[in-house]
Amino acid sequence: MAARQLGTARLEVIVADITTLSVDAIVNAANRSLLGGGGVDGAIHRAAGPELLAECRTLGGCETGGAKITSGYRLPARHVIHAVGPVWHSGRQGEDLALASCYARAIELCQTHGLASVAFPAISTGVYSFPADRAARIAVSSTVAALQAAPAVRRVVFCCFSNESALLHSNALAEFGSPCAD
């Protein structure tokens, strides 16, 4: 739908099922237990198979705004980065910072593990009720900022579930870098 070149990294917005993407890592919009749930979390756990749940049980959960990495098991992606987004409480409980932290921590984990490509869902915009337009701006700006310290990351995909979400991410992405010729 949209793509931008930012330094050595290509940032893309697509509408797709994140569990089908062949990237080094997909990001899971996880809950604090990391033991699966609904939405994209449930879809990733189902597609990866029971081994993912078994590994997640060894991680001891994750704080809101944090992220932890596992293998991808039966997914085309080699890894899953489980990022715990905030539940929306009118924006008065640090939700913006916690959401930004999810994207930054995921990019940091990619850099640490030498992963060149990563796909993000629209974290916290489902049952956690984060306003989608605000979340898209935070997703893109936080990722762009984190990429400055992550030269290993060459491709970032914002994998949206709907055309509406993709449009919000495309609009946010338009503020950064230069358009890519496809």
For residue 52 the two structure tokens come to: 């993912």
The residue to which tokens 């330094």 are assigned:
7
Per-domain residue ranges of the chain: 2-177
**Which pLDDT band holds residue 179 (cuts at 50, 70, 90)?**
confident
Cα–Cα distance, 123 to 146 (Å, whole number): 16
Helices 39-48, 50-57: inter-axial angle, 10-degree rounding: 110
Residue 63: is its pLDDT beyond 70? yes
138 DSSP 8-state letter: H
Determine the pLDDT at residue 181. Answer: 57
The pLDDT of 60-71, averaged and rounded, is 98
CA 68 to CA 130: how far, in whole Å?
21
Average of per-residue pLDDT values in the chain? 95
DSSP character at residue 87: P
Q: What's the average model confidence in pLDDT over 34-50?
A: 95
In this prediction the pTM is: 0.95
Task: Give the pLDDT band (50/70/90) at residue 2.
Answer: confident
> To 10 degrees, the CA torsion angle through 82, 31, 128, 125?
10
- CATH says 2-177 is which class? alpha beta
pLDDT in tens, 86-133: 999 999 999 999 999 999 999 999 999 999 999 999 999 999 999 999
Please list the active-site residues: 41
